[in-house]
Amino acid sequence: MRINLFLIILIFASCDLPFKPKNDNNKTDIFAVSHDYMGEYIVHSHPVTLTWSDIEITRFKHFKVERGMGNSEEDFVWTHIITITDSLETTFIDSIEDDQMFQYRVRLVDKSNQFMIAYSETFTVPDVKSLNVRNDYFYFEDAYESAFLDDGDTLYVSPGTYTVNLRFLTKDIYFISTNGADQTALVGVSDTSSVVEIHKGVMSGFTVKNGVGNEGGGVQVWGNAILENCIITENKTVEADVNIQIYPFGFGGGVYLTENALMRNCLVVDNWGKFGAGGVLMDGSSRIEDSEIFSNDTKGKGGGVLLFSDECTISRSIVRANRSFGSTMGGLDDSFGGGIATYSGNHFINNTLIKGNYSSRGGGGVFVSQNASISFINSIFHRNRSGLFRGDNGSGLSYGDLTIRNTIVWDNTGRNPRFLWNESYFSNIDEVSYIQTNHGNIRDEPLFEDITQNNFILMSGSPCINTGDSLNIYNDTDNSRNDMGIFGGPDPIQF
């Protein structure tokens, strides 16, 4: 029992009883509360009618109606709903808006503040595991903010094109299209914010386009959030009313990954970053896996990807046909690193193809700034280019710490293609005048199967087979010695 009957008896015995049921010849003290909820599955506000005993009351003051809700009776949080001053009122209609356990209590009080409390039976609203935009809720924001959508639940989106700008900041949910990115598009409407900003959970299966943001024009991904199975295209970042380059303002035309964010199995294509990172801006401990960054542009550093700070990772991915170019041919702009550029921090790239990228000033494939380090393992640099006037080094240009291992650097061009890869190990490089053979390096035609079809599988007899680093940690998946290139090592690329 939730009330101390003995205490109530003492109170009532000390004075005239102010509460007694009407038309009760036995004069029995009766005060009870009931509800009419029948256990329906609900995803919207649902009415519940409360009814309590009709009691004859001397010097009536009010009824107080309260709602308790929680995961169990032990953790109920009680909320005052209404105070009723009409003694003849014996019903009240409440609305429930959550999938939890509920109970009601009504407090009957007289003008001497003597009271009685009655509790309804508890009831539980069936657990809601998912909601659907268009079927259950018309607007994304209403569905996301609904109390029925909890951490671990799924917000499904039906096929269609949606003009939105969404901010998912507080709930750890799955935000998923039912029919995939080809049939479900999120199109930006604001000219100052990303199409989607997500801080928790998983976003999967959307095309995100036409975003115009200050950073991450298409999508910003924070915390431990995951962006997967998406196409990010035709987004851009813009400059402020005054041309002040304050990071990350104007960076990350397609995607901004920060903190522990992960992007996997995504295509980032045809985006524009005003000051840098045409495709993807990365900092923190963010990661890219199994993705393609293709045909993105910037006038600053990192046509495809800019690794701005901290410790980022790119694995099993393709970075191709991105451009970093300034406003003038050979000018003193910041156009370095057509494919990938670093600003600071220590970064790691494995089993990644860097192909056909361009920068006007240097490092068509990769640029490493003075305060940064980057390590490539089992990767390929192929046909990256730099400008003909001030452009240096089609494959890579480094003022910091650039290391390659089990990597193929082949057929890249620039004004000065002879870049000395001083920290190269067990790699095949065609653009050095002196091969550090004591590091296991070679300079031989790699014999790709068909580069015209982007087929970089090594042909039988390739000098790159079984000539990578012999340490067991670099072994191929069949436990044989490492093959140079993107298909070698314990974590090969998957097309």
* C-alpha–C-alpha distance, residues 213 and 239, integer Å: 9
Cis peptide before 21 (omega within 30 of 0): no
What DSSP assignment string belongs to 357-377? -EESSB-SSEEEEEEEEEEEE
pLDDT for res 14: 36
Q: Is 168 exposed, middle or buried (0-12, 13-18, 19+ CB in 10 A)?
A: buried
**What are the chain's domains?**
5-124 (2.60.40.10), 130-474 (2.160.20)
pLDDT for res 349: 98
* C-alpha–C-alpha distance, residues 324 and 301, integer Å: 6
Going by C-beta distance under 8 Å and a sequence separation of 6 or more, which residues neighbour residue 153? 128, 129, 130, 131, 173, 174
pLDDT for res 416: 57
- Single out the residue of 489, 428, 424 nearest to residue 463, CA to CA: 428
Strands (E), 202-279: 202-204, 207-209, 212-213, 219-221, 226-228, 231-233, 236-237, 255-257, 262-264, 267-269, 272-273
pLDDT for res 330: 46
Q: Is 344 exposed, middle or buried (0-12, 13-18, 19+ CB in 10 A)?
A: middle
pLDDT for res 245: 67
> DSSP secondary-structure letter at 462?
-
CA 482 to mean position of chain CA atoms: 34
Tell me whether strands 267-269 and 231-233 are parallel, antiparallel or unpaired. parallel
> DSSP secondary-structure letter at 317?
-
For the whole model, what pTM was predicted? Answer: 0.90
Contact in structure between 381 and 395 (CB atoms under 8 Å): yes
Residues (pLDDT < 50) of the chain are 1-17, 27-28, 328-330, 417
pLDDT for res 375: 97
Query: What's the token pair of residue 255?
Result: 């995607």
